[in-house]
Amino acid sequence: MTPSAGQSAPEVVTLGETMAALRAHSPLRLGGDLGLSVAGAESNVAIGLARLGHRVR
């Protein structure tokens, strides 16, 4: 992976699939809303490391 002009190489590269997690805030039979969030172990690690200031891809 070669960084583009003005970018530095990532410190961490994660491999795996990102998934969408749909969570009901109330029973679905009542027609409630769904919350959407990112899921997947690799995505969770990348998000956590990015929040700690690491360059991830």
Position 51 pLDDT exceeds 70? yes
Classify the phi-psi angles of 20: left when phi > 0, otherwise alpha if psi is within -120 to 50, otherwise beta.
Answer: beta
Give the pLDDT of residue 31.
76
Give the pLDDT of residue 2.
65
Q: Is the pTM of this model over 0.75?
A: no
Q: pLDDT digits over 23-41, tens only?
A: 988 887 777 788 999 889 9
CA distance 42 to 32: 30
Give the pLDDT of residue 53.
94
